[in-house]
Amino acid sequence: MLNDESRLINSYTMKTGNNWGVGILILRSDGKTLIGKRTDNHLWCTPGGKVNIGETVLKGIIREVKEEVNLNIHSPELFDIHVGSFGNEKVWITFSFYTDDYSGTIRPQAAEMEELKWVNILELLSLDLFLPTKMMLDKYLELHPEAVSA
């Protein structure tokens, strides 16, 4: 876990010319996580998106989750920062979070998600995943191998 680093990175604010993305594993007490099917490419992904100019990564993930799935997340934990390209020329810095502290009722944003569902990690591994989600999940399982048995 990046506790001290997490506090530092969450103070960073998006500037013009950067490509910052955020994603989050929202975990229920039964070990299931929330995923949605994207409307643009029909791949499964966790909530997330692009950080806006002038926005911190923490505010970005909170906003994206509210917009995409109608949940309020609390105390998201940063567990990975990935720098790389996802099949195009743009280089992205992607900040991956997880939380089990949330409130609200899930509802997909029609412009972004076709459907939402709660799945266990093993089921998630068998779905056709959006590449940033797959990378985030791989890192999470590397740090939390016990999640597979949940």
CATH label of the domain that carries residue 115 = 3.90.79.10
Q: Residue 17, CB half-sphere, CA atoms under 13 Å: how many? A: 0
pTM given for the model: 0.88
Residue 63 lies in a domain: yes
Residue 149 lies in a domain: no
| Residue 8: predicted pLDDT | 52
- Rounded to whole angstroms, the Cα distance separating 138 from 123 reads 14
Q: Per DSSP, what are the bridge partners of residue 41?
A: none
Task: Report the domain count for the chain.
Answer: 1
Range of the domain at 138: 3-143
Contacts of 59 (CB under 8 A, 6+ apart): none
| Residue 1: predicted pLDDT | 44
- Is residue 133 predicted with pLDDT exceeding 90? yes
Residue 78 lies in a domain: yes
Please say whether the beta carbons of 33 and 119 come within 8 A.
yes
Residue 148 lies in a domain: no
Residue 15 lies in a domain: yes
Residue 90 lies in a domain: yes
Predicted confidence (pLDDT) per residue in 73-124, tens digit? 999 999 999 988 766 677 888 999 999 999 999 999 989 999 999 999 888 8
Is residue 7 very low, low, confident or very high in pLDDT (cuts 50, 70, 90)?
low
Residue 44 lies in a domain: yes
| Residue 146: predicted pLDDT | 87
